[in-house]
Amino acid sequence: MLADDKIFLGTSTQPEYLALKYGNRHGLVTGATGTGKTVTLQVLAEGFSAAGVPVFAADIKGDLSGVGKMGQAQGWQTQRAQDIGFDDFSDDVFPVIFWDLFGRQGHPVRATISEMGALLLSRMLDLNDTQEGVLNIAFKLADDEGLLLLDLKDLRALLVHIQERAKEISARYGNVSTASIGAIQRALLVLEQQGAENFFGERALEIADLMRTDRDGRGFISILAADELMRAPRLYATFLLWLLSELFEELPEVGDPDKPKLVFFFDEAHLLFDGAPKVLIDKVEQVVRLVRSKGVGVYFVTQNPVDIPETVLAQLSNRVQHALRAYTPREQKAVKVAADTFRPNPAFSTAEVITQLGIGEALVSVLEAKGIPSMVGRTMIRPPSAQVGPITPAEREAIIAASPVAGLYDNPIDRDSAFEVLTRRARDKQLAEERQRQDDDIRKTQRTYQDERPRRSPAPRSSSRQTPTEAAMNSLARTVANRLGDALVRGILGGLKRGR
């Protein structure tokens, strides 16, 4: 059943395969709770990894972690293999890297505020248009004044600074009201309470670390702990979107490769689109469309295909549809929508079968020769080879300690950035004012003393009004600006691209 250029998915009236060369044509795994979506995701992840394709997946319930542990021919896995005539089934284990935005169940994942950009940050903070406008101005000002925005305290300091210069900045960039700044500060506080404080900063995640293969040429499966993250769905969704846009920005164009460079699974994909403004949906649609030619396959996993906007849905070529219920009118509509996306099979009614599928059974349609969708097949999905279900915390610890990125991200770096620069500027300004006052006092005394002598014009003070430290700081700011100048390119979702 196993083959080199395709992933074995299961058996209908014939074996069903996903061709690796169409792996970047994206996919969709849907079905009601408990119908077998996560197991199917594991089958796909194992298949890509075995073919040397690195995988990134969020683990919502912790049940994907088993992919990093040797399977033990559990009852139902062996049974299913037998049922479908899968003779070359064997236990296996796959290379895994665990990641965690909160740094607890995996290596910390970080991004900088600049990289995130105003559009995604606004979405993360749930800002209205006016507040988003102010955030845009903040980013613009930071660019213009060479202030690095790395972490949340940088952004906070910048907002305070903007408030102090509100009049001048409003005249130059557009209105910044105290109310809007206050609202953004409050939203930042909420984000911090959700634990995002550690997420923003350095060392920022390098895409290359998601694209590793092990010594045997297997693709690493990067698993993002997302159980806690689910309590901050906005953070979850925007983070994944950011990551996707990073992949798009960083990876070179490859056309149509033999196999994908990376496969990205978006579990609970409805969270991405719930209440998302049209601009954002359009951007997602655009990124998903364009990232294909970078060799990245995006697979959405969600309960119901109607959770995904039509423009995005239209791009997901490889489909696994598990059972759907059809009790309510909304459910019936969803079944119809799901059924209509398949190329019909004269042997059965797609819509009828969707509601009758058993656990671990699905309608499968993939791209075949010339990129044409295959006729839908009622398929018994193959069992995964690794453990199904979570590993223990101790097993997780062991994998983290032995990981190829061990020690790379584990400690935060706090580089000189907006917060530090603005704090120094404020302190220097204070010092300068102090000195000015002292100078004035001295001059006053001298003047009283010299009153009898002919008046000379006062000696010119140092030509600029800057203190030496301030001058040095400003020149540092300029260097930063100049250095950034080369790289001041904003990506498709508005994030600042890294200089290369």
Ligand X SMILES: Nc1ncnc2c1ncn2[C@@H]1O[C@H](COP(=O)(O)OP(=O)(O)OP(=O)(O)O)[C@@H](O)[C@H]1O
- Minimum CB–partner distance for residue 33 and Mg ion (Å): 7
Residue 323 contacts by C-beta under 8 Å, 6 or more apart in sequence? 31, 32, 35, 354, 355, 356, 357, 358, 359, 361, 362
- Minimum CB–partner distance for residue 77 and ligand X (Å): 7
Q: Looking at beta carbons only, is 270 or 498 nearer to ligand X?
A: 270
Check residue 34 for interaction with ligand X (CB under 6 A): yes
Check residue 378 for interaction with ligand X (CB under 6 A): no
Q: Looking at beta carbons only, is 176 or 388 nearer to ligand X?
A: 388
The residue range among 30-38, 169-177, 325-333, 363-371 that interacts with Mg ion, by the rule CB under 5 A, is: 30-38
The length of the chain is 500
Number of residues that bind ligand X (CB under 6 A): 15
Q: Which of 147, 220, 203, 236 is nearest to 422 (CA)?
A: 147
Cβ atoms within 10 A of the Cβ of 275, count?
9
Which of ligand X, Mg ion, none is residue 259 near (CB under 5 to 8 Å by kind)? none
Q: How far apart are the first and last CA of the chain?
A: 44
Q: Looking at beta carbons only, is 10 or 260 nearer to ligand X?
A: 10
Check residue 118 for interaction with ligand X (CB under 6 A): no
The residue range among 224-232, 275-283, 381-389, 466-474 that interacts with ligand X, by the rule CB under 6 A, is: 381-389
| CA pseudo-torsion sign 197, 203, 207, 209 | negative
Check residue 76 for interaction with ligand X (CB under 6 A): yes
Q: Pick the binder of ligand X from 66, 260, 383, 491 (CB under 6 A).
A: 383
Residue 230 contacts by C-beta under 8 Å, 6 or more apart in sequence? 60, 236, 268
What is the rounded distance in angstroms from the CA atom of residue 98 to the CA atom of residue 39? 18
Q: What is the CA radius of gyration of the chain?
A: 28
What is the rounded distance in angstroms from the CA atom of residue 88 to the CA atom of residue 382? 11
Q: Pick the binder of Mg ion from 11, 24, 35, 38 (CB under 5 A).
A: 38
What is the rounded distance in angstroms from the CA atom of residue 199 to the CA atom of residue 236? 11
Check residue 80 for interaction with ligand X (CB under 6 A): yes
Check residue 245 for interaction with Mg ion (CB under 5 A): no
Check residue 38 for interaction with ligand X (CB under 6 A): yes
Q: Pick the binder of ligand X from 23, 36, 133, 297 (CB under 6 A).
A: 36
* Residues at the contact surface with Mg ion, assessed by CB under 5 A: 37-38
* Residues at the contact surface with ligand X, assessed by CB under 6 A: 31, 33-39, 76, 80, 359-360, 381, 383, 388
